[in-house]
Each structure stands twice: as C-alpha cells, then as structure tokens.
Chain A
C-alpha cells in the first residue's frame, strides 16, 4: 500500500462504501432490472442487502477492536475513525434505516410515489450519518452533515403533490442552509485558531487559549448554533414541528430518530473533542438551553391536536434530556446519551409507525380524532402505541426509563440537583400529553371504521420496535454493555 491509502482506510470506510454503492445501484436497477413499475418495490431487497453488508463491515470493525484490544482505528490520516462510539451509532443508523425502509413500500404505494429514489436517498443520508459519527476532521464532518441534510431536504418534500410536504421541505431547506452557514463559519474560526482541521489538533489549540478567549467563544457560539439547530434545541427548533408535520410520516420517523442520533453524535464529537476544554464557557449556556428545550417542547406539546406535531414537540423535549447528559459530562452522562439515543430510536420509531398504519387511501390519519377508539378496532396497535408512549414518557419497565435513569443519575453524580429536579418533573408533564393520545385510543369511541393499512413489513417493524422497547426495559444488560463500549473521552 502507498502512503495515500492503507488497508485500515478501507477497513474503516467499508460501511460507507457499501451504503453509497447500493444507493447508486438501486437508482440504476430501477431502470435496468425492473422496467415494470409494479416490480419496483423489490428494490427494497437491495436496500436491506446493502444494509447487511454495511452491518457486516461494522461487525467486522467491532470484533477486530475487541480482538486487538485497541480503542480505535484511524484512517485517512486521522480524518476518519472506527471506535466504539462510531460503531455504536452506526448500528443505530442501520437499525433505523432498515425499520423505516421496510414499512415504506406500502406507504409509498398509498402515496403513489417512486420507490427507487426514496430508498437510495435513505442510503445516501445514512452514508452522511456514517461520516458524522466516524469523522474526526472538520471537512469530513461537514461533508457528512451536508450529505445527510441534502438527502433529508429532498425526502421531506418527497410528496410532490402535497402542499404541506413542499412547504415543509422549503422551510427545512432554508433554515437548514442558514444553520449550516453558521456551522461553517464556526469551523473556519476553529481552523483559524489551530491551523488544522483535525479535531485533536484543534482541541490542543483551544486548550492553549483557554475557555474565555474571544476567538474560542466566537467559534463556540457559531458552531453551537449549527449543532443545536440539527438536534432541534430551543431556540433553534422552529423548523421541527413544520418539517415533521409536512414530511411523509415514514420520513418524519426517520428524521426524528436517525437524523437526531447522527446530530447528537456529531455534537458529542465536537463538544467532547475540540471544545472539551472550554467546558466552563459552554456548560452554563447549554444547561440553560437544555432547560429551555425541555420547557418549550413539553409545554407546546400539551395543546397539539395533530399527533405528528405533538410527537415533534416531544422529540424536541427529548433533545433537551440528551443535552443534560452532556452537561453532566461524566461517563454516566455520556453513556446515558448513548442509551437514550438507542432507546429513543426504537420507541419513537414505533410511535410513528403506528401513525403510518393510520394513513390510508383518502385518510390522512394523524389527528387525535383519527386515532380515537383504536383499541376497539385494532387492540394490538393500540397496546403497542401505549407501550411506546409509556416508554417515551420514561415509565418503567419500558426502555425509555433506562435512558432517563442514566441522565438523572449523571446529574445527581455531578451535583446538578436543580437540573435533575426540573428534568424529573417534566416527566409528569410529558405523561399528560402522551396520555391524551392514550385517552383517545382507549376511552373514546371509534370514529373511523376503515381498517388500518398494514403490511408484512409494518407488522415486522412494529414487532421489532415493540419487543426492543419492552425487552430493553426488562432485560437491559446486553444493551447497556453495548452502550458502554461507546464511551468517548
């Protein structure tokens, strides 16, 4: 091997290569292999296959890390890394993408949209997420972010004939581009400080300047704007409710978990990397933002009558909880974020999948009224929804409790008692609006007798999310160990 390319590079990059390859292949096969449009749903098979290869690459990385006993492999001269952190988050992306993809074919049929572009866009977005979790260089990270964001802009507006979808995409694009600008500006300041785009070198330069150096503060402020926008933290959350409501429900699900998980990974890379030494400067600000995020998310969710919008606000509040783990900043907190992101992925996906089943020909199916009396019609779906909502609220023995448990524990350990009390009390607020949905499902009478639109993929995806949401709650040990491998120092 020469100096530009080594076998390690290949080894670290392989999941992203697989995703990009299969994403392109799906576009090609659309015309070449399946000229008959009715057959195009089989393209899903290639997505799953690609994910399989990507997953194999991840598994390979994981087992080598274990066997060699090293914390990480770096590649491309320190711009990419395969460590427990990147592998953990990539597993989440794989799971989220597969789950969303297998429920999508029925949904796309109902909406009458193309399959190929949809699946390949998902894979491209996931490719971007890979770089967000594995990148250790500003340029790599930025490209990863843009790849993910651009794919999502298109996917949010995927329903070409729907005004809501178009409006949501436009809003998301404009605000997203704006925030990317801030981020790029912050990155340029970091480069200015250190003369390098490598996170490690920036970290050294920032540490040398101290947390309250004006340039460091400038970099911190502008970078934070970009990052907080991505995880939809207050006051940069305005795009989320509109984008969530307008986007196709499957994409809303995908956006709310995969994009958020990738952005959290990205945020952790930056805040625990280059900006780690500036903790004194950002901790109070982030604490304020976290409380504001939980407050706005929880209070705004109370009065929503559109369930997608309600879940959008709830997902804003979850971002607040995740930020709290970063504020605590000890191992428990960081592990807590990993656990939180993992359980959030399954429970939030699950909740949106039930909404996907409510979308039928001619029925939008995302209002409180649409879900009324679901228990009478489809008790299985109603009970699963109950499980996901309990988990989102953090009631044991569901998985969501464990996420909150770690966050609360980390706050106690680092003596952030006030934050802990606020965070716990918002659980009670959250249960109020989640139980508005529960009330509608279980207590109200059936208003819409049309059966749910289900498919094998949807049932499978719901079963997996449900089993994991309950299973992680009842026997979390293996999952906690997995999350424990993701610690980032």
Chain B
C-alpha cells in the first residue's frame, strides 16, 4: 500500500486551497465552482479508502511514515483503523455538503470563506489520521484558526464574542493537553532512552496509576472541552448560534467528534489504568449523563431554533461519551456509530435551519408555524431529520443509542436508566419543535409565500437521508468495520475481557442488525 492514498486524501483540500488562492476575488462563480469541485474531489478520493479497507485486519492500515523532525522524534505518521475510517468518511461527506450548502448563503468575501473551509478540512482529516502525537497536535490546533474566522467573519450579530470564546476555550484545553502529551513523551524517553511521539511506541509505557491519572485529566480537559462535555459546554451554544449554517454543520458534525475521537484513540489505550480507575469512570459517566439530561432539558426551553439544536448536541454527545466510558464493545462501537449518526442528523438539522434562515433571516421558533403547508418537501425532509435525531427505529439514531444503552446497561444499570430518560426528552423537544414550526395553520403572514426547496438544496440533503436510512436499516457493515479496533481497545483497557464471563457481549451490535 505504497500509493500514498491517505496523504492524497489529506492534501486534496490543501491543493484545492492553493489553486483557489490564485483565482481573482472578482470571479465569484469560478470560486464557488472550484471550491465545490475541490471538496467533491476530496470525497471521491476518499472512497477507495472504504473499498480497499480490510475489515479483518486489526491495527492500522494505509500507514505512511516519514521522518519529519528527527531531533524531536516527531514523524509524519498517518494511518487509519475502522474508527478513523468512519470519521474520515464523515468528514469528506459533510465537508462537501457544507460547502455546497453555502452557495447562496455566503455573498461576501467568498474566496476567504472557501479557503477557510478547505483549510478546516485539512485540519480535521489530519486529526483523524495522525498516529504521531506531535502531528496530531499540529492538526488539532490548525482547526482553530479557520473556525475562528468562519464564525467571526461570516457569523451572526454576536459573532466576535462567540468566535473568541470558542477559540479561547478550546485553546486553553488543548495547551493543557499538550502538557499531558509532553509528560508521556518525557516518560518514554526516560524509560526507553529515546524521544518519540509515535502512539504505538508510547503505548509500551508502563506508568504508575497516579501519573496516569494526572495525564488523563490533562487529556480530559483538551478532549472534554472539544466534545463538549458538561460543564465545559458553554462555548458551544454561542458558537453554534452565531456561526453561519455551514460552519454550524461542520462544527456539530465533525469538529466535536475530534474530542470523542481523542478519548477513544488516546486516553483509553495510552492510559488504560487511569481509564479503568473506578473514580474516573464514575465521574465521566456521571458527567455524560448530566450532559444528556441537561442538554435535553435546556433544549426544551429554547425559543431560538438553532440554540435548541445546539443544546441537543450536548445531549447527544453525552451519549457518545457515556458509550466510551461504559468501556465494553457495545458501548464503544455504539459510541462511534452514534458520532456518525449525530454528524448526519444534526448536520441535517442545521442545514434545515439554514434553509429557512436564508428566506426569513430569523431563527425565533415563534416566528414560524404551519410551514408544512407552504413548504411540503421541506417538511418531509425535516421530519426525517427529526426522527433520525430522536432515534426512531429504522433510522440511524436508533441503532447508535440502542447500542450505547446496551453497553451502559452492561456496565451499570443505573447509568442506562438515567440515559434512557434522555431519549424520551430528546423525542419530546424534537417533536415539539416540529409541531411548533411545521404543523397547524400558517400564523405569520410572512411565511405564506416562502419558496420550497430548490434542486440544489434537495441535493444537499439527499446523501444524508440515504445515509441515515442505510445505517438504520442495515448497520452490519459499520459494526463489522468497528469490530476489530473496538476489540483492540477493550483488550487494552480490560485485559482478559473477552476470555472472561462477558461472552454474551463479545460481538458488538444489537440484534436488529440482522446477523
């Protein structure tokens, strides 16, 4: 596998960006077309990753390694396993859709806007591919700057506040994470006599529990702020509400997953003892459950459509972290799948808000009502998005939440019991939102003549709907892809798990997957 496929996927957006720089800013159409082409090419190039990915192999595939900074021990080392594969596909798909959805929404400074999106794309892909901690950190931070500009330049009325809040929060978390990384790096050097940032090497470290716990909390701050877990979520509603539609989509669908991915890829395998420490697991599970319930309850109270969806993200991401810290195959596999699901359904929800916002320039829920009469196609798509997000069987959200709850139940019945109420609340705020905006009579005269979805807008939603139904009806391929990496992580954190009494749960995936 020496054809550098992964590097190609990583740098296609960058190449698109470099060409874009040379297109004069006056050529607005050309800029749009080129940016769409570049991101679509990025998606096409990532497709062979799926077809050539070998599910039966544990460990990383498409690995590429080159010396980068030998005096630091940092390498250009990228590779993917099933978990990163899914997230990378999510990134390329959502990246393209976000750019496509900006066609009419963004009117000024087009060139800078699309440059920022392509740069963001590079950063996110890099995060999901890096197997070297230094490289990972570089990509991790690279994401901040374009996102700052996307919120800060093209955002809503309080954009500057939201943008800098986003930047400062995540930066503060990630610099503390850097200290954790450096601690591991230094410990490795003192145990093995050489410096390296390679994850696989760092996993050979045997660290005392006390130190692992410190490093764990340092990582935790970096990842938990990104996810965001309760109580670090306060930047999220601001960022979401102020960001332009495409920015919200990327932020919710992909960027947040960097945090959960960090937990799965780094916290668990590198710090197995700390990750299994009773107190830590308990604290994180409780924070996740609080996040689920708090996010759902606050969503119920929102008058602003976008803020409602933003808080629903807090709730859904709570499920993802709960699945991770259930620390069993079902929990982990469910968590990864739910990350994809959340990307699809919340991406759709933000796009749906974008559609009416472009037409009415308001997000007040009370401004709308009875839209189903005026925009029937829109209402259908919105219904699908709502149901997918609320976890209706045969749609994607159900599979993820169900598997996570299964995992949580296995770990601790009380967790599952509390988390289930989150599902109920979730259905409540989403259906209520639908009722208030779509059903009944058109109460506001301004809504009487809103145009329904255009073909381009339908094209934006179509892939996501297909994907949602696919996962909902036939999730087996996804669980197959996730089986090996999940198994590896569980064995790493809980040695002997698969030999022990938990035989019944060895195969991730719920019964509905039709095995």
| Chain A interfacial positions (CB closer than 8 Å to B) | 375, 390, 395-397, 401, 405, 408-409, 412-413, 417, 420-421, 424-425, 427-428, 431-432, 435, 439, 442-443, 475-477, 480-481, 484
Question: Would A412 and B152 be within 8 Å (CB), given that A424-B175, A480-B71 are in contact?
Answer: no
Q: How far apart sit A396 and B68, CA to CA, in the bound complex (Å)?
A: 15
Interface contact B141-A396, CB-CB below 8 Å: yes
Interface contact B175-A425, CB-CB below 8 Å: yes
Q: Report the minimal beta-carbon distance from A331 to chain B, rounded to whole angstroms.
A: 12
Within 8 A of A (CB), among B436-470: none
Q: Report the minimal beta-carbon distance from B298 to chain A, rounded to whole angstroms.
A: 26
Cβ-based interface call for B350 (8 A)? no
Closest to A429 in B: B168
Interface contact A424-B176, CB-CB below 8 Å: yes
| Chain B interfacial positions (CB closer than 8 Å to A) | 68-72, 112, 137-138, 141-142, 144-145, 148-149, 152-153, 159-160, 164, 167-168, 171-172, 175-176, 178-179, 182-183, 185-186
Closest to A413 in B: B186
Of A428, A439, A443, A484, which contacts B175 at CB under 8 A? A428
Q: Report the minimal beta-carbon distance from A281 to chain B, rounded to whole angstroms.
A: 27
Closest to A478 in B: B71
Closest to B159 in A: A443
Interface contact B176-A421, CB-CB below 8 Å: yes
Determine the main DSSP class of A at the interface with B: helix
Which residues of chain B have C-beta atoms less than 8 A from A408's C-beta? 178-179, 182
Which residues of chain A have C-beta atoms less than 8 A from B149's C-beta? 442
A–B complex contacts, Cβ < 8 Å, 11 sampled: A395-B144, A401-B138, A405-B178, A428-B168, A428-B171, A428-B172, A431-B168, A432-B168, A477-B68, A480-B72, A484-B71
Q: How far apart sit A325 and B178, CA to CA, in the bound complex (Å)?
A: 17
Which residues of chain A have C-beta atoms less than 8 A from B160's C-beta? 439, 443
Q: Report the minimal beta-carbon distance from B242 to chain A, rounded to whole angstroms.
A: 12
Interface contact B185-A396, CB-CB below 8 Å: no
Interface contact B138-A396, CB-CB below 8 Å: yes
- Sorted nearest first, the 8 A-B pairs with minimum C-beta distance are A424-B175, A428-B172, A396-B138, A480-B71, A412-B182, A428-B171, A396-B141, A397-B138
Determine the main DSSP class of B at the interface with A: helix
Interface contact A431-B71, CB-CB below 8 Å: no
Which of B71, B164, B172, B175 has the largest count of A CB atoms less than 10 A from its CB? B175
Closest to B155 in A: A443
Which residues of chain A have C-beta atoms less than 8 A from B164's C-beta? 432, 435, 439
Closest to B176 in A: A424
Which residues of chain A have C-beta atoms less than 8 A from B178's C-beta? 405, 408, 424
Interface contact A421-B142, CB-CB below 8 Å: no
Q: How far apart sit A401 and B69, CA to CA, in the bound complex (Å)?
A: 14
Question: Would A396 and B142 be within 8 Å (CB), given that A408-B182, A412-B182, A428-B175 are in contact?
Answer: yes
Which residues of chain A have C-beta atoms less than 8 A from B69's C-beta? 475-477, 480
Q: How far apart sit A401 and B134, CA to CA, in the bound complex (Å)?
A: 11
Which of A397, A413, A428, A439 has the largest count of B CB atoms less than 10 A from its CB? A428
Q: How far apart sit A463 and B205, CA to CA, in the bound complex (Å)?
A: 44
Interface contact B145-A395, CB-CB below 8 Å: yes
Q: How far apart sit A442 and B182, CA to CA, in the bound complex (Å)?
A: 34
Which residues of chain A have C-beta atoms less than 8 A from B168's C-beta? 428, 431-432
Closest to A427 in B: B175
Which residues of chain A have C-beta atoms less than 8 A from B152's C-beta? 439, 442-443
Q: How far apart sit A405 and B134, CA to CA, in the bound complex (Å)?
A: 10
Which residues of chain B have C-beta atoms less than 8 A from A424's C-beta? 175-176, 178-179
Which residues of chain B have C-beta atoms less than 8 A from A428's C-beta? 168, 171-172, 175
Which residues of chain B have C-beta atoms less than 8 A from A431's C-beta? 167-168, 171
Q: How far apart sit A413 and B187, CA to CA, in the bound complex (Å)?
A: 9
Closest to A480 in B: B71
Q: How far apart sit A413 and B71, CA to CA, in the bound complex (Å)?
A: 16
Of A409, A425, A427, which contacts B186 at CB under 8 A? A409
Question: Would A412 and B137 be within 8 Å (CB), given that A435-B167, A442-B153, A476-B69 are in contact?
Answer: no
Other than A417-B179, A443-B160, give 20 A-B pairs with Cβ distance below 8 A: A390-B145, A395-B171, A397-B141, A401-B138, A408-B178, A408-B182, A412-B179, A412-B182, A412-B186, A413-B186, A424-B178, A428-B168, A428-B172, A428-B175, A431-B168, A432-B168, A439-B152, A443-B152, A477-B69, A477-B71
